[in-house]
Amino acid sequence: MTQIRRKNGTIEVVDDDYILASGESIVLPFQFRDEGQRAVAATTGLVLHDGMGNPAGYKPGYVFADADDGCADADAAYSQYCRDLQDAWMDKERREQELEADRQAPDLSDVKALRDAADETRRQYIERTVNAWRTAR
């Protein structure tokens, strides 16, 4: 069991495999701070430092790791979060239509196919615009 400090300052006990959310931090008694760094290095193989290359744990402040293993997962999660925010206004049916249209995108390596795709997109746009007043949202 590990103690964490939430964003609002409250301290809570969580499982050891808990992943910290944004703004949360692990609470360690002062005498165990160096041991906490060694435990992270032993289990993950990451070397923690203070951003200037000095070992972390000797003074309060930010802690960094050199490995980019977690960055790909974080980037993927952030991209998914952004997509969800961008599509939040759409209803489920509209979102599925958008995804289906993306899957059926034409091959853009051929100039003729590119022109045909542009013409078709313009035709669909004009049709939507002309008939927009007929549909209620």
Same domain? For 100 and 126 the reply is: no
Same domain? For 35 and 49 the reply is: yes
Same domain? For 10 and 62 the reply is: yes
Domain count, the chain: 3
Same domain? For 84 and 133 the reply is: no
pTM higher than 0.75: no
More confident residue, 122 or 2: 122
Q: Concatenate the DSSP letters of all residues of the chain into one string.
A: -EEEE-TTS-EEEE-TTPPPPTT-EEE--GGGHHHHHHHHHHHH-PPEE-SSSSBTTSSSS--EES--HHHHHHHHHHHHHHHHHHTTTS-HHHHHHHHHHHHTPPPTTSHHHHHHHHHHHHHHHHHHHHTGGGS--
Mean pLDDT of 111-132: 88
Domain limits at 91? Answer: 68-105
pLDDT in tens, 45-94: 677 778 777 877 667 777 777 766 667 777 888 888 888 888 777 777 87
Same domain? For 99 and 78 the reply is: yes
